[in-house]
Amino acid sequence: MLAKTPSPPYYAVIFTSLRTDIDAGYEEMAEEMVHLAALQPGYLGHESARSGLGITISYWESLEAIRAWKVNSDHLIAQRYGREKWYSNFKTRIALVERDYGMNAE
Amino acid sequence: MLAKTPSPPYYAVIFTSLRTDIDAGYEEMAEEMVHLAALQPGYLGHESARSGLGITISYWESLEAIRAWKVNSDHLIAQRYGREKWYSNFKTRIALVERDYGMNAE
């Protein structure tokens, strides 16, 4: 469940959100977006957790790959529904991963 | 519950983890580390969620601030217990936040 990302540098899109109480269509959209993102060129993986606050991080080879996903037509619809219905607040941060290390000092 | 971070650039430390089934001392340590991190120079905020996978992101002014927190003596003890007892796997990623935007196109 931890994303298997390559050696840095690569990009992370950190999406932090608070949900409204509107559930209609949300889970289906979230699953579909994970599925579609994974088909995009330059996609490297994703990690997600929610306990009140939701955090989803997707990893990408380049800013160009992130831009292409941002303007994907199905993703644009999901983003509009997100603003209008599903999220009471969110923040998206685009970040360059410069260094990483893991459990066994990998 | 979303971190109120300043305009980029700033740094994010993305800590993704899977827990063991050992609970002794974990919650207390986690709370204490959040408390201690917030006292460090250059700390900007943090966001955390767990649902199976745990994701904790702390935000910092600089790499120097991140390094100083990494070698904080209480934090070093927590890191050792993390490797030995609490986490079955984890990954830490150091990333430069280049851009951000929010709910109201902030």
Q: At residue B50, does pLDDT exceed 70?
A: yes
| pLDDT level of residue B106 (50, 70, 90 thresholds) | very low
pTM score of the predicted model: 0.95
Partners of A59 in beta bridges: A12, A45
Q: At residue A106, does pLDDT exceed 60?
A: no
- Which pLDDT tens digit goes with each residue over A35-91? 999 999 999 999 999 999 999 999 999 999 999 999 999 999 999 999 999 999 999
CB within 8 Å of B18: residues ≥ 6 apart: A1, A2, B52, B53, B54, B87, B88, B89, B90
CB within 8 Å of B91: residues ≥ 6 apart: A2, A3, A100, A101, A102, A103, B14, B15, B16, B17
For B7, name the nearest residue in chain A, comparing CA atoms only: A93
B30 contacts chain A (CB < 8 A) = no
Contact between residue B76 and residue B102 where contact means Cβ atoms under 8 Å apart: no
ipTM: 0.94
B97 contacts chain A (CB < 8 A) = yes
Task: Please return the burial class of A92, using the count of CB atoms within 10 Å of its CB with bins 0-12, 13-18 and 19+.
Answer: middle
Percentage of chain B modeled with pLDDT above 90? 93
- Which pLDDT tens digit goes with each residue over B85-102? 999 999 999 999 999 999
**Residue B2: DSSP 8-state:** -
Q: How far is B39 from chain A (nearest CA, A)?
A: 23
> Would you say how long chain B is, in residues?
106
Q: CB-CB: which of B2, B48, B94 is closest to A91?
A: B2
Which single residue is written with the structure tokens 């923040």? A91
- Please provide the average confidence, as pLDDT, over all residues in chain B: 95
B67 contacts chain A (CB < 8 A) = no
**DSSP assignments along A70-105, one per residue:** HT-HHHHHHHHHIIIIIEEEEEEEEEEEEEEEETT-
| pLDDT level of residue B9 (50, 70, 90 thresholds) | very high
Q: What is the mean pLDDT of residues B57-82?
A: 96
